[in-house]
Amino acid sequence: MPAAEPNFTRAANAGDAVDAATAKAYWSKTSGLMWLMLIIWAIASFGIHFFVGFLNQYKFLGFPFGFYMAAQGSLIIFVVMLFWFARRQNAIDAEFGVSED
């Protein structure tokens, strides 16, 4: 089953319908952003924890770097990701005229 594409029946300008090419371009940018977020999430979730032993040979604020990244660093990455994703998605929405006010 293909992923649901956005509904462009509500257009930004006086009820004009948005053409299929614009809808496809919007969905392409949105899905690309989602895939990027998934890759960053996977690296922060699994990559850091997989290499924690190797990272522990370095120190950060007096703690082994692997321990710090597993305990705090990945959480910081997730919070930054959320804000960056929201900002970027709002920019994409504004570019295609489907932003919320």
Question: What do you get for the CA distance between the two ends of the chain, in Å?
Answer: 32
Selection from 50, 79, 52 nearest residue 65 by Cα: 52
pLDDT at 92: 94
Identify which has the larger pLDDT, 47 or 80. 80
Integer Cα distance of 66 and 50 in angstroms: 10
Name the nearest CA neighbour of 5 among 19, 24, 21, 22.
Answer: 24
Residue written as token pair 């293909």 = 2
Domain residue limits, the chain:
20-95
**CA Rg, the chain, in Å?**
19
pLDDT digits (tens, 9 = 90+) for 5-63: 555 555 445 445 668 888 899 999 999 999 999 999 999 888 888 888 898 999 988 88
